[in-house]
Each structure stands twice: as C-alpha cells, then as structure tokens.
Structure 1
C-alpha cells in the first residue's frame, strides 16, 4: 500500500512580532511573491484533507528563513541583518522542528507502508497557466507516479509537464539521499500562480479538484497493481 506525505515550505508570509523591525517599511515586499507562494497552502490543505494525512508546512515568511535551503542561502537580505545568535534561534525554533517532523513522518510511513509519495507543493509567479511535475535523478518510483499523474492531467487539456532528473533544493536533496528511490517517491508540484491569483486559464477550484482526483486515481491504480 502507498502512503502520501504533503509538504509546503513557503506557505505563509507571517512575521513573528520579535522580527518585525527588520521588515519595517518593506511590508509590501513581505506580502509579495518574494515573501511567500500564494495559493500553495490552500492547495496543500486540499491534498492533506483528500489523502487524510497531516500537512507539514512552513510557519514564517521565507524572507526570514527559507526552509528549503541550507547554510547562508537560507537568509534573505533582511534576515542577514540579524545577529548570528538570533539566526541560530530561528533555525532551532522553526527550521529544525519542520525538518525533524518531516523525517520522522517519512521513516514512520515507510515502516508501515510499502511506499511513500511525497508531494512538495509550490506555486510559481514566473509561469502562466503551467503545472510542473519534477522528479530527482534516479527517482524510479517518483518518475512512475509523476508520469502516470501527468498522463491523467494532460488528458484534460491541462498544460502540464513532467521534468525528470531535476536536482532538488537542499531539503529535497537531503531526503532523496537518505531514503531508497524504489520506496520513497519525491515529486515537486509547481503550479502557476495565475490559477490562484487571476483564475486563469482555469478557475482555481477546478484545477485543484483535477489535481486531487487525478493523483488519487494514480494512487489507487498503484495499490491494485
């Protein structure tokens, strides 16, 4: 049986009170697509509800700390103003619990199930009406799921692409390196923000339902097989 894990790194543009001073005068940047990925949390919540699995998501703006990156790349031009000790606290309070929960969930799901599909959800401000499914190098199971998912989506005339052998970000790469590719299927789902912000070329709810229905159908096929 296949389990599903849903995660969303850039779910919010929230800034805890203790860090608001470094963004004073730049609040519009924080709430822009530079600070978060509009629609990503809404979509991730839909997947979580459909597959009856807890959702793991970032709880602060990526301009404070980017959960998908490592080292100095985690810090924006704003958070670099913070003392190193303060940034270390951000890691301890926000990044480390997020990553620990994710690893614990993966380990537990793989213990209880034959395989796990991890959908990492993003929305993209740079594309228009496009849905992307990206899989890491050597990701045997992920490629199989993504290919079947793409086939179902394309059959509905959605502009969808499956790109193989994409080197993931730091978080994705660290997970892909630990868990066996024949059991752990990591798929990065990236949806154009035009769907969520402008309702084009499809209404958001219509797109969301198709994404959920099609992945559920793929999961059922895999279970039967």
Structure 2
C-alpha cells in the first residue's frame, strides 16, 4: 500500500484581488511582511511538486484579506483591513475565496483516502524573530502527537532530517494542534485516513532555500518509504 500525498500552500502570495485593492492602499509594509504572506512558501511547494509528483493546492491571495488557515469562528479570520467590510461583504469573502480553496483540498483528501492513508503537507514559512527574540528553530514539523499515524511519521521524518546542519524541532514555532487547516481536517478524517503536517521553514533561510528544499525533499521521500514499509505493510 502506498501513502497518498497532498500538498497545500495557504500563504503562498501577498496578492490582492482587484476588487479589494482599495482596502490595502496604505498596507504596503504589512503586505510585504510576514503578516501578508509566507515568503518562500511558493518555492518550497513548487519543489515538493517536482520531488513528490503532486500538484500543490495554492491559495493565491494575501491572508490579510481572509485567513484560509483559520477556522470561521477565529477572531483572526479577517484582518483590520477586511474587518471594516459589512457582514454581507465578509460572507462573500468566505464564499468566494476561503471555502473554494479549503473544499478543494478536503475533497482531494476524501477521494484519495478511499485507497488508504493520506499525508497532507501544508507549506509555511515563519519570521525568524518574534517580539524581539530569535526563534531557535530552522525547520518546524507541526503535527498532533495524540494521533498514532502522525506520531509515527513524525518520528521517521525527524530522523530523516537530523544531522543535516539545521535545527529541526517538533511543534515549533507553533503547536500542531492549534487552530488551523490541518486541525480542522483531523476532525473530518480518522487517524488511519489522514495525517496532517505543517512544514515551517524559517525565513532566515531564504538565501539557502535550494539547500533546504533538497534536505526536505530527501527527508520526506525517506520517511514516506519507511512509513510504507514499516507501518502500511503491517496492516
């Protein structure tokens, strides 16, 4: 049995749809910052496309319009720029941008899970400094340690990435069980059908992205092979 793979990039771009550009006339600095997008995530997703032979699901607009990696009841779903819209206009953002992306990813996972477990890789990058403190992590592997398959794959992936010159940590700089798309999807699919991971790469490594991509790609391929041999073949 083979592990099916889905790749998504929720913060791929800082583009603003033409109809909403007036909201962001004075938001240039925020759009270019980590608030507006995950710089480098597009390149990582494109590399995974080649190495894993899957087409990424890409959300093509800034998270400052609507945040596709948050639940509908999360207070950060809309930024200060889009929060000023009327309730009807915010509902239109949900229907037009938020739901289509998430529904596409969920539908593909549902389709693939008929044949076995699905590994979902959400690609992200993070600012290396937060509130004046340097984050002591280069690559973060976010997952739910309470789910057996995710824990097993995380162990294999961490082992595959260790000793490569980067600081790799589990559930840093964020918790894998915090509100997000993978957390939502865990509630939709059983442990043996869905494994949701977020790959977090420090934006301090953007000048070494080719090296990071190579290490991530090789590590993922090794971990996937080991998971198939050691877990799926034993089912």
When normalised by structure 1's length, the TM-score is: 0.91
- Structure 1 residue 173, shift from structure 2 partner: 2.0
1: distance between equivalents of 2:23 and 2:98?
Answer: 19
Match of 1:101 in 2: 104
Between the two proteins, the alignment pairs up a number of residues equal to 219
2: distance between equivalents of 1:98 and 1:63?
Answer: 16
Match of 1:89 in 2: 92
2: distance between equivalents of 1:168 and 1:48?
Answer: 26
- CA contact 2:182–2:197 (8 Å) conserved in 1: no
Match of 2:132 in 1: none
| Structure that is richer in helix per residue | 1
Deviations 1:63-107 (A, max 9, x none): 100001123421000001112212111111111111110111111
- CA contact 1:110–1:183 (8 Å) conserved in 2: yes
Structure 1 pair 142–40 and aligned structure 2 pair: CA distance change class (3 A): same
- Structure 1 residue 223, shift from structure 2 partner: 2.3
Pairing partner for 2:78 from 70, 75, 78:
75
1: distance between equivalents of 2:34 and 2:228?
Answer: 38
- Structure 1 residue 22, shift from structure 2 partner: 1.0
Match of 2:153 in 1: 145
1:21 and 2:26 correspond: no
- Structure 1 residue 174, shift from structure 2 partner: 1.7
SS at the partner of 1:79? coil
When normalised by structure 2's length, the TM-score is: 0.87
2: distance between equivalents of 1:104 and 1:91?
Answer: 17
- CA contact 1:129–1:195 (8 Å) conserved in 2: no
Segments of 5+ residues of structure 2 without an aligned counterpart are 130-134, 231-235
2: distance between equivalents of 1:32 and 1:128?
Answer: 20
Pairing partner for 2:166 from 155, 158, 162:
158
1:216 and 2:221 correspond: yes
SS at the partner of 1:82? coil
RMSD of Structure 2 on Structure 1 (CA)? 1.7
- Structure 1 residue 172, shift from structure 2 partner: 2.2
Segments of 5+ residues of structure 1 without an aligned counterpart are none
- Structure 1 residue 29, shift from structure 2 partner: 1.7
- CA contact 2:5–2:118 (8 Å) conserved in 1: yes
